[in-house]
Structure 1
């Protein structure tokens, strides 16, 4: 008993049955065996579908239906042949054959891969063009022997069969080319179709000379049936890896198309050289050429339509940022140029949004999360403007909003503020809330007559540099910023030499302990004694140093200088600590803790002699890495302080998770303490909050005696400000501390 689930055994049994058929004389027995073999092939298809769950199941059911119609036609012919009446052309069997061929075409066109049809309408058109070219040769071959007689129904039927065979073969080739490799199933289907083509062509050449039977032709048709059945019984398999490139498959299709189109002049040339009367081949040439021209025109139209669609898609892709889907730099530039026009239209504004320290997100969470953040920021910025504005990403962490206007300074600044607030709203990243800061710049076309788009962009960049060094980080361009920007670029080139050349200095400002009435520590404040510009504050160079990667060297210089000074003070009998400010870059620097450990050892200082101050915002930029760094520092015994407390966005829950021992109230609440009842309430509640959490509380920005008295009455632990002492060089610290202690002691004695 042969297992129908095995394609190999099915092929062997089919071959043996066909061999037996070939030895039988024409008659009822051979006809019955022919039909049995054909029915067995058809029955194998449902077996294969159920056993192996074919991917293109619907296509295989259509093939089964097609072969069933062919079997019906075969049975009809067998009945007619064995009844002695002969087989007319056309006959009832031909109706079944035609339906079967059409169903095979439908089956091939419905083959799907990954849910989409493998053959497109364009493939069908190209196959039809190739078939028309071959059809011309078929006309000559099939109708040629009939001389000059008008082709009869049998001839037309023969041409149809041969043409539909060629069409099927071309479609099957296209399927293989689309996959760029053929599976065994494809080769079996190809062999089945090829045998059918050979048999049909040979049959209708014979039919053109008169009725005849050919056992060889019947063997070919039976072999085609068996190959169809074997293909259905095979497991679906992935195509073998092929070295054929898409360019090569495209060239193969072009060659086939060219050959088909060239068939018309080739046939004309051959027939003219043979002296064949035009009346025999002329109509065929006209029909074939007409079909090729019409189908070629349709294919060319569809091809041009595809090119136009792809061109539009490419233009859109070229103008679109791949991460956010917004306009990219090129599109923004063209839009700005278009709005300004050749005369430099007034009332146009460019708002530039630069995300501060965005690279830390990429380094911490990866670029995939960074892209999600950029996409969300882009969506928020779009929501801040109306539809007339163009929002885009210039690249990296920079966004731009082009406002066509007319807008004035007030309107542009309002948009800039809205954009900054949109960026600053908390972001949900991996179950954590992050807060981004941004530097926002505004450049207006009204600032200069007839500005060009490039000039407006340059002004916006100059303004964003200025915005980075101020609070809030928002700036509107003015001409002095160009000078400032040039100065900053020059300073960056000089900063490295300043570190090694001794131009950087550290000043120190006392922190007064209100409980003891004595100075308890000094805050290290960096200054740059520039050879041309004099003494520069950190805001003039640290933001750019952070961007250029020079900040770690600057931080190391400050830490080393501050610890060396603290060591001298303690040797001089002053039991005070030194506070050093850290930036967000420092907090995500995995080497910071080891560098601090080395510095403590080098200067012989205990950990409690050093305080590191960080802002709320810097600690929140990358919570995981920041907390890890702070805990590593705390493990060395140093104290940690939240600087500028009250100006950030941290929650009490987050604050409680930080390993800090001190809060330092921002000066904005302290300076107006005496005249602002709201600030007084904030300071009172902040002091109470710090004490309830077991934290030391420091108020900075104390500028007068009244503020000092109020803070003392509220229970503040320590104060710092110009009223206590201004920042002084390291060499003046001992004298300054003694003077402050003496003055405070005298004041307390007087009270």
Structure 2
């Protein structure tokens, strides 16, 4: 049933209340009018009685009147005089309450002792009441019966009681006139009050309706972009999923703006808001009528595409969205390019509820940030929150405390003379039940569970300690440690590194800290601040996996780098793909122009090692020389090959089976 509006409810309720209030007031005032009319009648009856009878009544008359005296009273009140005086009937009682005179002869001598009104009058009070009786014409009529006490001169107390009957009709007429005027005035006043309040309430009702409508809109739409919000999106998605036919697909796309925080910090929140509005506009232009575009908050947007025939269409549309967002945006004469990362989750394969699709799209979106095209579809392998990984995440903090983390080392070999320049420290987890786990199995968990800080501290401290021990034992080696994104922007890292160097007695230039391109471009200002402080300590710095990220020459020139590490993906195809060979040569040339060393990762054989050497690469790293091995094995291998390597694996080189290198921390 439709609910009545506030204005209509006020109108009905106030009308009822005004009516009830008017009726109550009218009754109260009508009673007062009636009492005032009766009091007026009493005064009139008293005046007439005293004026006409007081001077004419003798004390002896109260003992009883003879015929003559009765005739004199009749004569005084006879004829039309009673009617003229406005009196219908008249009686006189003595102190015994006996009627000594009445215009009705039959009642003379009757006693009124039983009358309460007579007794009150004898006590000195003027009293009255409404009664019904015969008027002077003999017809029945309503009358006002007034009892007036009479004090005779020279006597004390009441000497007699005059009872006069006044016609009620004039009193009733006066009451009706007064009541009519009362009702008119009261009704008019209340009507005016109601009419005065009505527009006020009407305006308040309109304002409340507008506010309620705005509240409902804000509950479902984002105020800045006017797009549906998370709540509205969830309703649309859940409804669409219920109607998804067999064999049909739906896609949930999560879009996150890269470097939006940098725009906010540099240009201010007003420009950030304008950027978000422009993003909403560009995405909106790509939507179909059945698509749902929403802003989830911050710099995150979501697109729900219902009823798509295959994944290829979703991929193409995601690329279209990415291309639209990758165009420059003019913000107060400042042209800004903000890239976006897009994660895709498909229903029903990846989830049948909004929460599940959002979670999986979020996983894919974070994976997209590490790819070149910034678009990624969800797969279970990407999810760090599987049951096993959640269990590992809960055990990771304790593993650090129990000393279950160990470091393996992979040598860094000089391309010029084959001598060992140093080693890269790679963390492993010696799990009591699962065996030796590579970093890919637990580092993402460390970043998401907050364990990356303690883990990084452990790797840096242990690597510096091992390097210091080797150098004290005559091995002139450099140690390289990889910094994860969160650690690279942590302003406390320089102090911790300085403390570890001092604690173990390692020269700062023997420590090389590596970080990826993605780490640099994720938060360039904070990362640069940390790197410059490390440079002031004398620590050397390397850019890892160079060529796979999106860093620019401007980034390189602003950072105190000493080394570029060529990603294994280019090294492995150096001789098979001319484009990859061109990339490797360009990186080496770029490094030389910037006075930076180059290290090639993933060197698998002597042919590739020779080709890299010929192209001017400074250092080589890969299985061709040694897999990552425990510290003691690395030290033995390094001593056995102290004279240098000739390009092939040295005699006695450790060839332990183990996982291919992955970033350590």
TM-score range, shorter-chain basis? 0.5 to 0.7
Residue matched to 1:39 = none
Asked if the contact 2:251/2:344 (under 8 Å) is kept, the reply is no
| Partner of residue 233 from structure 2, selected from 322, 326, 332 | 332
Distance 1:516 1:435 in 2: 45
Residue matched to 2:306 = 404
Shift of the 616–476 alpha-carbon distance from structure 1 to 2, 3 Å rule, reads closer
Distance 2:262 2:539 in 1: 25
Shift of the 261–550 alpha-carbon distance from structure 1 to 2, 3 Å rule, reads farther
Shift of the 302–570 alpha-carbon distance from structure 1 to 2, 3 Å rule, reads same
Query: How many angstroms does 1:666 deviate by?
Result: 2.1
Shift of the 746–644 alpha-carbon distance from structure 1 to 2, 3 Å rule, reads closer
Structure 1: state its 5+ residue gaps. 1-124, 130-253
Give a deviation string over 1:365-408, Cα, whole Å, max 9, x none: 99888877766665665455445322334456654221123352
Asked if the contact 2:258/2:340 (under 8 Å) is kept, the reply is yes
Asked if the contact 1:469/1:539 (under 8 Å) is kept, the reply is no
Shift of the 731–432 alpha-carbon distance from structure 1 to 2, 3 Å rule, reads farther
Residue matched to 1:556 = 457
Shift of the 575–553 alpha-carbon distance from structure 1 to 2, 3 Å rule, reads same
Give a deviation string over 1:717-742, Cα, whole Å, max 9, x none: 12222223221121211233356666
Asked if the contact 2:350/2:357 (under 8 Å) is kept, the reply is no
Question: Aligned to 2:537, what secondary structure does the other structure show?
Answer: coil
The question of 1:391 aligning with 2:264 is answered: no
Residue matched to 1:521 = 422
Residue matched to 1:540 = 441
Query: How many angstroms does 1:671 deviate by?
Result: 1.8
Distance 2:452 2:275 in 1: 25
1:37-436 equivalent positions in 2, closer than 5 A: 264-265=22-23, 268-269=26-27, 272-273=30-31, 274=33, 275=175, 277=177, 278-284=179-185, 301-321=202-222, 325-341=226-242, 346-353=248-255, 381-382=283-284, 385-395=287-297, 398-418=300-320
Question: Aligned to 2:408, what secondary structure does the other structure show?
Answer: strand
Shift of the 391–609 alpha-carbon distance from structure 1 to 2, 3 Å rule, reads same
Moved more, 736-745 or 697-706: 736-745
Asked if the contact 2:342/2:374 (under 8 Å) is kept, the reply is yes
Asked if the contact 1:504/1:526 (under 8 Å) is kept, the reply is yes
Distance 1:331 1:557 in 2: 46
Residue matched to 1:145 = none
Residue matched to 1:705 = 606
The question of 1:606 aligning with 2:364 is answered: no
Query: How many angstroms does 1:328 deviate by?
Result: 2.6
Distance 1:515 1:677 in 2: 24
The question of 1:501 aligning with 2:402 is answered: yes
Distance 1:643 1:281 in 2: 97
The question of 1:627 aligning with 2:528 is answered: yes
Distance 1:434 1:572 in 2: 53
Query: How many angstroms does 1:434 deviate by?
Result: 8.4
The question of 1:714 aligning with 2:472 is answered: no
Distance 1:519 1:427 in 2: 50
Query: How many angstroms does 1:319 deviate by?
Result: 1.8
Distance 1:545 1:384 in 2: 38
Distance 2:492 2:599 in 1: 29
Distance 2:538 2:318 in 1: 44
Shift of the 393–546 alpha-carbon distance from structure 1 to 2, 3 Å rule, reads farther
Residue matched to 1:445 = 348
Question: Aligned to 2:392, what secondary structure does the other structure show?
Answer: helix
Asked if the contact 2:372/2:548 (under 8 Å) is kept, the reply is no
Distance 2:291 2:24 in 1: 62
| Partner of residue 656 from structure 1, selected from 552, 557, 568 | 557
Give a deviation string over 1:261-306, Cα, whole Å, max 9, x none: 9885576446534236155455555655555566666655544443
Distance 1:521 1:429 in 2: 48
Asked if the contact 1:364/1:622 (under 8 Å) is kept, the reply is no
Shift of the 738–697 alpha-carbon distance from structure 1 to 2, 3 Å rule, reads same
Query: How many angstroms does 1:486 deviate by?
Result: 1.8
Query: How many angstroms does 1:597 deviate by?
Result: 0.9
Residue matched to 1:671 = 572
Give a deviation string over 1:607-655, Cα, whole Å, max 9, x none: 1111011222322333332222111111121111111222333332331
Shift of the 734–626 alpha-carbon distance from structure 1 to 2, 3 Å rule, reads same
The question of 1:642 aligning with 2:543 is answered: yes
Give a deviation string over 1:125-164, Cα, whole Å, max 9, x none: 9xxx9xxxxxxxxxxxxxxxxxxxxxxxxxxxxxxxxxxx
Asked if the contact 2:328/2:336 (under 8 Å) is kept, the reply is yes
The question of 1:691 aligning with 2:592 is answered: yes
Shift of the 623–498 alpha-carbon distance from structure 1 to 2, 3 Å rule, reads same
> Normalising to structure 2: TM-score of the pair?
0.64
More strand by share: 2
Distance 1:564 1:617 in 2: 29
Distance 1:368 1:592 in 2: 33
Question: Aligned to 1:722, what secondary structure does the other structure show?
Answer: coil
The alignment's C-alpha RMSD in Å is: 4.3
Distance 2:199 2:561 in 1: 76
Distance 1:661 1:559 in 2: 19
Distance 2:188 2:237 in 1: 57
Question: Aligned to 1:306, what secondary structure does the other structure show?
Answer: helix
Distance 2:353 2:647 in 1: 66
Query: How many angstroms does 1:436 deviate by?
Result: 6.4
Question: Aligned to 1:745, what secondary structure does the other structure show?
Answer: coil
Residue matched to 2:152 = none
Query: How many angstroms does 1:580 deviate by?
Result: 0.8
Give a deviation string over 1:538-573, Cα, whole Å, max 9, x none: 232222322222211111111111112212322343
1:434-473 equivalent positions in 2, closer than 5 A: 438=341, 440-445=343-348, 451-457=352-358, 459-460=360-361
More helix by share: 1
Moved more, 564-573 or 651-660: 564-573
Asked if the contact 1:441/1:460 (under 8 Å) is kept, the reply is yes
Higher Cα Rg, which structure: 2
Asked if the contact 2:370/2:549 (under 8 Å) is kept, the reply is no
Residue matched to 2:160 = none
> Normalising to structure 1: TM-score of the pair?
0.57
Question: Aligned to 1:715, what secondary structure does the other structure show?
Answer: coil
Shift of the 725–477 alpha-carbon distance from structure 1 to 2, 3 Å rule, reads same
Residue matched to 2:132 = none
The question of 1:574 aligning with 2:332 is answered: no
